[in-house]
Structure 1
Amino acid sequence: MKNLRFKKSIYFLLFICSITTFAQNTLHYNDEKGSEKAILEDISWLTGTWKGEAFGGEFEENWSKPTGGSMMFNFKLVAEGKVVFYELGHIIEKDNSLLYQIKHFDQNLKGWEEKDKSEDFRFIKKEKNRMYFDNFTFEKVSDNEVNVYAYFEESKEEVVFNFKK
């Protein structure tokens, strides 16, 4: 029963977010245009511990400093006092640009993706305070606030996640 209620809450939240999102803040990668040149220092402002609310719960996301050609992160969503899911991933320097890779895990650390697979999002371009990846945009609002815009292919909706330090 709680699972059904949680799923309905997620769909409702996605619906509300889609109504309140007037501008498209995400881009889709185009093979013909490729990726702009970028290095991890371009997005190093993401380093730190961030918190926010999403999907009827609270989340925490931690980003490491750029070292070894990588910025690693972990994410945890908690709703009704229980872990809903985790994410582990990184942004890496690759081919004179960046690549954002994610793996998801349930509350028992069972992976959603196949063992040797990850969800990969190619870098597109940088603009002032924004870094555009395929279906994701990281926006620096201030030193203590970030918006992450995510486009979900299945629902064809864009959702904004607000992170604060």
Structure 2
Amino acid sequence: MNFKCLLTAIISFVLIFGNSRAQVTEAKVSQLAFMAGTWTQKHAWGDMEEFWGEPMGDSMISSFRVVKDGKAVFYEFVVIEEQNQVPVFKMRHFNRGSIGWEDKDKPLLFYLVGIGKNKADFELKDKSVHITYQLIAPDKLDVILIEKDKKGHLQKDSFNYTRKK
């Protein structure tokens, strides 16, 4: 094994197992209030807008869209609901025309694996996707997406949002 392959294997191991944590056993949706707001950024994928409503009861909602060259590319709708005293992040994707990607009774379920002041980490049960939300300033929200591609390689995307005024 050459040095480059060894280094890639070590980095992959750290990203997979270093970011993987046990599911949080108790938390409240109210701890995610730092995510609330309308957030925007210009990105290679297009212009992005992510809206998070304030916590209400045991839930939060989010809508997201990407617009490129004046046309919507895709959307996401997220519901965070407390289940067994822990917020669970339930996501669905839609193409233009509101055509869903996921089966109607199977949203993507991300479990809370880390919670702190102005930071939350969510992960799919199979650990193939990890999402971190972190408020780094009153008007700056970073979202880090780490996911395995079709070949099993880890890919990291950073989304650096600014609060829409």
Q: TM-score, normalised by structure 2?
A: 0.78
Relative to total residues, which structure has the larger strand share, 1 or 2?
2
Q: Out of 93, 109, 122, which is 2:82 matched to?
A: 93
Separation of aligned partners in 2, 1:74 and 1:160 = 18
Letter in 2 for 1:162: N
Q: Could you say what the CA RMSD is over the residues aligned between the two structures, in angstroms?
A: 2.0
Note the C-alpha offset of 1:49: 0.8
Are 2:121 and 1:132 equivalent residues in the alignment?
A: yes
Q: Is the CA contact 2:32–2:118 (under 8 Å) kept in the aligned structure 1?
A: no
Q: Does 1:27 align with 2:19?
A: yes
In the alignment, what sits opposite 2:6? none
1:111 to 2:100 alignment:
yes
Given residue 76 of structure 2, which amino acid in structure 1 is its aligned partner?
A: E
Larger radius of gyration between Structure 1 and Structure 2: 2
- 1:27–1:136 contact (8 Å) kept in structure 2: no
What is the identity, as a one-letter code, of the residue corresponding to 1:148?
A: V
Aligned match of 1:47 in 36, 52, 61? 36
The structural deviation recorded for 1:28 is: 2.8
Q: Which amino acid aligns with 1:106?
A: N
* Distance (whole Å) between structure 2 residues aligned to residue 130 and residue 24 of structure 1: 18
Per the alignment, residue 158 of structure 1 pairs with 156
SS for the counterpart of 2:34 is helix
How far the C-alpha of 1:79 sits from its partner, in A, is 0.8
1:24 is displaced (CA, Å) by 5.3
Please name the residue that 1:38 is paired with: 27
Q: Secondary structure at the match of 2:31?
A: helix
Secondary structure of the 1:42 match is helix
1:144 aligned residue (139, 150, 154):
139
Q: Which runs of 5+ in 2 are unaligned?
A: 1-13, 124-129
Q: Which consecutive residues of structure 1, in runs of 5 or more, have no partner in the other structure?
A: 1-22
Q: Cα deviation per residue 1:35-81 (whole Å; 9 max; x = unaligned)?
A: 24211111101111111123431111111111131100100100111
Instruction: Return closer, same or farther for 1:120/1:129 CA change in 2, 3 Å cut-off.
Output: same
Q: Which has the higher contact order (CA 8 A, sep 6+)?
A: 1
Q: How far does residue 160 in structure 1 lie from its aligned partner after superposition? A: 0.9
CA distance in 2, matches of 1:124, 1:41: 16
Report if the CA contact (8 A) 2:45-2:66 is conserved.
Answer: no
TM-score (norm 1): 0.78
Q: CA deviation at 1:129?
A: 3.1
